[in-house]
Amino acid sequence: MQLIDASGSFGKLRKNLGNKNCELKPEHIRAIQNVYNNFYEVKKVGDDELAVQIFDNSDFGYYKVAIERPSRTKAQFTDEAVAQLRFDKTLNEPMTWAFATYGEHIYSKLPQLEKEVLHWCEKNDIDLAAKKRKILCSPAHWEKHRTLMQHAQSLQKVIGSDEHYDFNVLKERVEVVLKAQKIRLSASEKNAIHGAITCYDETAEKVVAKKQKLSGDKLNKLLHCLECTANQLPDFGYYPSSNKNEYIIYQSESDLRDSENVPLKESIYEYLLREVKPHVDEAWIDLEKTKIGYEVSFNKYFYQHKPLRSIEEVGAEILALEKENEGLIMEILNLK
């Protein structure tokens, strides 16, 4: 691919055409056609001359690589965190207002209070789609969240309100208590409770998403797919555990997720080792999220740095301007 920078090739119009005051003269057009038809490079010498460079198509391509970091979660059952489970996160503001206004009556008299609740939403510029309006005014939905809060309160009574810096241990403890109290919760309900009582803390332990057995053909297929060795698997999110042929996959922290643009002609893995690992040692690549893109940036290839003027030169110009201004002021005041 040939890139032609003809931004400096123009001549002034004798008369402006609206906001336009420049045009391509015949000699400029001939010069552009010549380098285009003959497909050769030109090194820019002056500001008003052409600059031409030739590239492979792959020079403009890049891998957009997802860089993941493990979630480190601190957990604590507090009254405030548990109380928030009473409300749907997506409808938190209107539900909080409705409960603060009507209290427990919201569960038994919601059909009669529906108009008032929706009127408050309109009055406070809370624009809800028809589906959300229906959910907000659904007694079953309110009851579902109250029940979830009550289950969390039951867990709090047994587990207590201490801070936990290893969410993996607390998660197992929650499962034991739920089983002992014969409480059945769906995966989404458990996630809602976990989300309410947790927050990121860099001093906490890494959160384990799952453990996976990898050996034989299964391991070889993974290594072939990732184009790496077994020792390099941690850089792709597979960490060996203390058990033979078992690997830990940590939960990624979405707020810390980053992306890097790696040129197509470079190795993604070598880029990780060179540009990422020295700064964030526990980061890994999620190759499944990798995308390929292309970008043509003229500034990147044609920008020419112009050194700043020396301090002495700038200082002399400032002093000269001050003297000139002083003379003008004296002339205006008729003091000269």
Q: What is the 3-state secondary structure (H, E, C) of the chain?
A: CEEEECCCCCEEEEEEECCEEEECCHHHHHHHHHHHHHCCCECCCCCCCCEEEECCHHHHEEEEEEEECECEEEECCCHHHHHHHHCCHHHHHHHHHHHHHHCCHHHHCHHHHHHHHHHHHHHCCCCCCHHHHHHHCCHHHHHHHHHHHHHHHHHHHHHCCCCECCHHHHHHHHHHHHHHCCCCCCHHHHHHHHHHHEEECCCCCECEEEEEECCHHHHHHHHHHHCCCHHHHHHHCCEECCCCCEEEEECECHHHCEEEEEECCCCHHHHHHHHHCCCCCCCEEEEEEEEEEECCCHHHHHCCCCCCCCHHHHHHHHHHHHHHHHHHHHHHCCCC
**Does 90 share its domain with 191?**
yes
**Does 125 share its domain with 190?**
yes
**Does 138 share its domain with 166?**
yes
- Write down the pLDDT at residue 14: 85
Question: How many domains does the structure of the chain reveal?
Answer: 4
pTM more than 0.85: no
Blockwise average pLDDT, block size 10, the chain, 336 residues: 89 86 90 93 82 92 96 96 95 96 95 95 94 96 96 96 96 96 94 95 95 94 93 96 95 94 94 95 94 90 83 87 74 65
**Does 170 share its domain with 187?**
yes
Q: Hey, what amino acid is at 12?
A: K
**Does 100 share its domain with 47?**
no
Answer yes or no: is 325 within a domain: yes
- Write down the pLDDT at residue 244: 93
- Where does a domain end: 200, 227, 249? 200
Answer yes or no: is 171 within a domain: yes
Answer yes or no: is 209 within a domain: no
Taking alpha carbons only, the member of 171, 182, 238, 184 closest to residue 211 is 238
Domain range for 246: 63-71+218-293
Answer yes or no: is 298 within a domain: no
User: How far apart, in whole angstroms, are the C-alpha atoms of residue 121 and residue 117?
Assistant: 6
Answer yes or no: is 89 within a domain: yes
**Does 89 share its domain with 159?**
yes
**Does 103 share its domain with 184?**
yes
Answer yes or no: is 210 within a domain: no
- Write down the pLDDT at residue 282: 94
- Write down the pLDDT at residue 246: 96
- Write down the pLDDT at residue 329: 66
Answer yes or no: is 208 within a domain: no
**Does 109 share its domain with 192?**
yes
**Does 88 share its domain with 184?**
yes
**Does 81 share its domain with 179?**
yes
**Does 91 share its domain with 196?**
yes
**Does 9 share its domain with 49?**
yes
